[in-house]
Chains A and B, each alone.
Chain A
Amino acid sequence: MKPKISDDLSRRIFLRGAMGVSLFATSGCEKIEDFLGMEPQEGPVVPPSGEGVDLVSHVLNRLTFGPDPSEYARVKGLGVDDESAVAFFLEEQLSPNEIEDKRTQRAVRRLEAIHAPLGELYEYKEDHLLEQLTRATLIRATRSRRQLFEVMVHFWSDHFNIDISKKECRWLKVADDREVVRKHAMGNFSALLKASALSPAMLWYLDGRENRKSGESEKPNENYARELLELHTLGVGGGYTQKDVMEVARCLSGWTVRGKDRFFKGKVEFHADAHDDGAKVVLGNEIASGGGRKDLDDILEIVGMHPSTARFLGRKLCIRFISDDPSEASIKKVAGTFLSSNGNIKETLRAVFATQEFLQGPRAQKLKRPFEFIVSALRGVRARVSSEMDVVDYLIRMGHAPFQYPTPDGYPDIASPWTGTLLWRWHFAIALARNEVSKNIKVEEEVLIEKAGGVDGLAASLLGRNPSVEEKAAIERSGEPLALLMASPGFQWK
């Protein structure tokens, strides 16, 4: 479904961006920005009107953190029919750098700690860094127009999970987020993999920094090597053995990172004297002795583009975007594109969205994880948020605070582990609708209803389809449309 974009259309998008810029260029910025609050874009609200979730709503549900009220109409207007509108939207989202997003960038720029160079990160208190990074993550997910990019950042943050509370990750995860995950989220997988392998935070998190082999008695630390194969590339059952794990560990021995008690803290370096420089065999590939630091590149080349890696990643992407139990055919297709495009993430994503299963399979049947639920609610009701931290408490209660997953496998991406969060979803829905999350988060239910052309319109805008007879009746009887809608089953799924 790769669409041809006419020059006209490209220009239209460009102009739209340019207009956004000029609005701010002339407006003395900060005050106006505060006044505008959180709305990603202001535009007419024309809610969906189908009985079921149509293609446009489906794509918005899966490729973004949930639509803002005017987003449905905007995307619908991009093409002559739903298919072309969606194709155009996809192309737009696949080129995030061309999407004007100044307001998000400006809002994030104020969080100065997360922009500090590696060595300077240690000058900040750990709690402050976590707070700023969490705020930035929430701001970007809620406000950014580069929604698919942010969704992919979220995806890779789980795939290359690092719990920020482990040792010096407290400082270094900020750099990992910036220079590994965000830098390569829509780039090339091999580059992403290498950046992660040499990420100071990852060297701490999976003990790579302890992996040394200086003498006969010293055994390499296998932690990173194992997770590299099991979680980052081939996947369990991907055809590697314990021997492969040990050989990979040998290849990576000697890479370390300077701790905070030393000069050049956080600096990654290779210690040839701590490297096992003998010959190795990894997954049947011989790695000659004397390779030194080049062993790392050899290893990543072998595992990064391995067919098992393609399959493992293909499956994870299908689970992310299609269903908890994607078909073999979809996985194969995506894995094939991953390999043929040499790990090009954009091309691989195109393949996901081109599968029959994505286009015609079940809709509204992926459970929003707590983070997605909360962000989709904030977006869906155009909440004015002046303190993002006020929703973090809810994320902690639901076990989904960013950068706080305990084990290297990252937050699960299927429904069953999250069902226990229902009570807290209800808590949040009610508190948000009643303006009781905190004084820093404001929702105007009356305005929302008015703009959506009535309560049914509000329901359609939040659910991506017309409310059912039962839903209409329940909304009316409850007396609190917004609270009920956000707490209702229809809003838990995407």
Chain B
Amino acid sequence: MKDTGIISGNGDEQATLVVVFLRGGADGLTLVPPVGNSDYYKVRPTLAVAEKDILKLGDANCGLNPAFSGLLNIYKEGGLTVAPGVGSSDKTRSHFYAQDLMEHGGQLAGGWLGRFLRYREGRPPSALSAVALGKAMPEVLRGAPAATVMESLETFSLGSGSGPTESLQTELGALYGAKENILGPVARDTLQALGRVERLRREDLPPENGAEYRDDSFSNGLRQTARLIKARVGLEAVSIDLNGWDSHIAQSSLISPLMTLLSEGLAAFHRDLGELMNAVTVVVMTEFGRRVAENSSFGTDHGRGGSMFVMGGSERGNVLGEMPVIETGILVGPGDVPVVTDYRDLLSPILIRHGAGRAMDKIFPEN
């Protein structure tokens, strides 16, 4: 981390890892189109991004979709890594298996983010170490020692909002404070975290640095995440989904709005957190990329290598590896982008930065 001096206090030493999962298999060649590759235009007659529209990333052989204009500056400032040709060993091209495989971190049971929280070095996880924004616990967090699922801060409180719990909290504070054992400090942290969330809800402070979030559930999730990070509740891991990338037909009209949601959400989050981004990493991943050649319904079918992003203060701002050249010779299976980077190799250095230490062989034992 470049700078953790700006944060101190309850849970403040915690860096936060935000995992954004694009469910459905986002088309890597649309998110991060190849630059100067004539084959791309042959196999994607209607879906290719015009060369002039691609946001260039220095000399890289790939660029950003114009929908990601909000992310270009972050890239230029060194806060975004673009990774083409990333994927898993999955060859089933089934959403279910590929998502499970990627969230579990291999042919394993339980999620890699859950294992990270269980086995990483440092003090045990606290009340709000892990949050899944949504309705259900995602696989990636399965096995975490403690994880909270919430749709928004507004739905989160002790007793699930069924009635006031202030006097219970006061008395719990007194009882746990009076005993000298391992739960005392945890109870204090938990009550403080609850208090901070409570205050957050009451105050509902606007985003900072002129950030403006869109009003959709993805942006709202990021906004809640930013609020929790600012409130220093000890947040270590967040999972947010952005669904709907399964573009078998009419791909452009389906995923263009999604790319805008993704880009504007991430840009607002980055701006809102400002310097705090130094201790935050956002990983954007998807279960697989899509077939290189478009199909007859102006869509694409399930493939292999996809494109992922990493955003955060510790990123160098570059393109990881190279976009695999789109030539028939190197395509895999029925004509898919090969996986040149295993997603675990993308994640490993990030997890180590976030304190995984010697636990890496438990988090990705097959890697």
User: Which of A's residues lie within 8 Å of B, judged by CB?
Assistant: 163-167, 169, 365, 367, 396-399, 404-407, 415-424, 426-427, 430-431, 434, 436, 470-471, 474-475, 477-480, 483-484, 487-490, 492
Main secondary structure of the interface of A (DSSP, over half): helix
Given A420-B125, A430-B158, A484-B171: A406 touches B190 (CB 8 Å cut-off): no
B346 at the interface (CB under 8 A from A): no
B124 near A430 with CB under 8 A, answer no
Q: Is the CB of B163 closer than 8 A to any CB of chain A?
A: yes
CB pair A424 B146 closer than 8 Å: yes
Sorted nearest first, the 7 A-B pairs with minimum C-beta distance are A406-B110, A163-B109, A420-B146, A423-B127, A420-B125, A474-B171, A406-B143
24 A/B residue pairs, CB under 8 Å, sorted by A: A164-B109, A166-B107, A167-B107, A367-B183, A397-B148, A398-B145, A399-B146, A406-B109, A406-B115, A407-B110, A416-B124, A417-B118, A419-B182, A423-B128, A427-B158, A430-B159, A430-B165, A436-B159, A474-B175, A477-B170, A477-B171, A478-B167, A484-B168, A484-B172
**A423/B146 contact (C-beta < 8 A), A164-B109, A434-B163, A477-B171 known:** yes
Report B122-148 residues with CB < 8 Å from chain A CB.
124-129, 137, 142-148
Known: A397-B149, A415-B182, A492-B183. A422 touches B127 (CB 8 A): yes
Q: Which residue of B lies closest to A437 (CB)?
A: B160
Instruction: List which B157-203 residues lie within 8 A (CB) of chain A.
Output: 158-160, 162-163, 165, 167-168, 170-172, 174-176, 178-179, 181-183, 186-187, 190, 193-194
Given A417-B124, A431-B162, 19 extra CB contacts under 8 A: A169-B109, A367-B182, A367-B183, A399-B145, A399-B147, A404-B110, A406-B109, A415-B182, A416-B182, A417-B145, A419-B183, A422-B183, A423-B158, A430-B159, A431-B160, A480-B167, A480-B168, A484-B171, A489-B175
**What does the 1/0 interface line of B93-115 toward A look like (CB < 8 Å)?**
00000000000100111110011
Chain A nearest CB: distance from B109 CB in Å?
3
Assess whether B362 is interfacial by the CB under 8 Å rule: yes
Expressed in whole angstroms, the Cα–Cα distance for A474 and B194 within the complex equals 20
A407→B104 CA distance, assembly (Å): 11
Taking the nearest CB of chain B, how far is it from the CB of A274, in angstroms?
Answer: 21
Contact of A426 among B143, B163, B172, B178 (CB under 8 A): B172
How far, in angstroms, from A421 to B190 measured CA to CA in the complex? 10
Contacting pair A431 B144 (CB below 8 A): no
Q: Which residues of B contact A489 (CB under 8 A)?
A: 175-176, 179, 181, 183, 187
CB of B224 to closest CB in A, whole Å: 17
Q: State in angstroms the CA–CA spacing of A367 and B128 once bound together.
A: 20
User: Are B172 and A420 in contact, CB atoms less than 8 angstroms apart?
Assistant: no
Closest to B143 in A: A406
Give the interface of B toward A (CB within 8 A).
Answer: 104, 107-111, 114-115, 118, 124-129, 137, 142-149, 158-160, 162-163, 165, 167-168, 170-172, 174-176, 178-179, 181-183, 186-187, 190, 193-194, 362
- Chain A residues near B137 (CB, 8 Å)? 396-397
Q: Which residues of B have CB within 8 Å of A423?
A: 127-128, 146, 148, 158, 190, 193-194
**In the complex, what residue of chain A is closest to B362 when comparing beta carbons?**
A407
Task: List, in ascending order, chain B residues with CB within 8 A of A488's CB.
Answer: 172, 175-176
Given contacts A163-B109, A397-B149, A477-B171, contact A406 B114 (CB under 8 A): yes
Chain A residues with Cβ under 8 A from B148's Cβ? Answer: 397, 423-424
Minimum CB distance partner of A161 in chain B: B109
Q: Nearest-CB distance from B139 to chain A (Å)? A: 9
Contact residues in A for B114 (Cβ distance below 8 Å): 399, 406
Quote the shortest CB–CB distance from B179 to chain A (angstroms): 5
Of B111, B171, B176, B194, most A-chain CB atoms within 10 Å: B171
A489 and B180 CA atoms in complex are apart in Å by: 11
* Contact call B110/A421, Cβ cutoff below 8 A: no
Tell whether, in the assembled complex, residue B165 and residue A470 are in contact, meaning their CB atoms are under 8 Å apart. no
Contact of A420 among B115, B129, B149 (CB under 8 A): B129
Shortest distance between the CB of A482 and any CB in chain B (Å): 11
Question: Would you call A421 and B146 a contact (CB within 8 A)?
Answer: yes
Task: Tell me the bound Cα distance from A434 to B146 in angstroms.
Answer: 23
Cα distance A475–B147 when bound, in Å?
A: 29
Rounded to whole angstroms, the CA-CA distance of A415 and B181 in the bound complex is: 11
- Bound-state CA distance A417–B120 (Å) is 11
Give Cα A418–Cα B175 distance, bound, in whole angstroms.
19
**Cα A487 to Cα B124 with chains together (Å):** 20
Contact status B145-A404, CB under 8 Å: no
Residues of B within 8 A of A367 (CB): 182-183
CB–CB B172/A470 < 8 A:
no
Please report the C-alpha to C-alpha distance between residue A415 and residue B126 in the assembled complex, in whole angstroms.
14
In the complex, chain B residues whose CB is within 8 Å of the CB of A406: 108-111, 114-115, 118, 142-143
Taking the nearest CB of chain A, how far is it from the CB of B192, in angstroms? Answer: 11
A419 engages B186 (CB within 8 Å): yes
Is A431 a contact partner of B159 (Cβ separation < 8 A)?
A: yes
* Chain A residues near B125 (CB-CB < 8 A): 420
Q: Do B142 and A404 have beta carbons less than 8 Å apart?
A: yes
Give CA–CA (A474, B115) in the complex, Å: 38
Complex-state Cα separation, A399 to B129, whole angstroms: 13
**Residues of chain A lying within 8 A (CB to CB) of residue B147:** 397, 399
Expressed in whole angstroms, the Cα–Cα distance for A417 and B118 within the complex equals 7
B115, A427: Cβ atoms under 8 Å?
Answer: no
Task: Tell me the complex Cα distance, A480–B165, Å.
Answer: 10
Chain A hits for B178, CB < 8 A: 470
Tell me, in angstroms, the Cα distance from A478 to B165 when the chains sit together: 9
Set of chain B residues within 8 Å of A397, measured between Cβ atoms = 137, 146-149
Q: Which residue of A lies closest to B178 (CB)?
A: A470
Say which residue of B107, B124, B175 sits within 8 Å of A471 (CB atoms): B175
CA distance A427 to B148 in the complex (A): 11
- A418 to B124 Cα, complex, angstroms: 8
User: With contacts A420-B146, A436-B162 known, is A477 near B108, CB below 8 A?
Assistant: no
- A480 contacts across to B, CB distance below 8 A: 167-168
- Residues of chain A lying within 8 A (CB to CB) of residue B110: 163, 165, 404-407
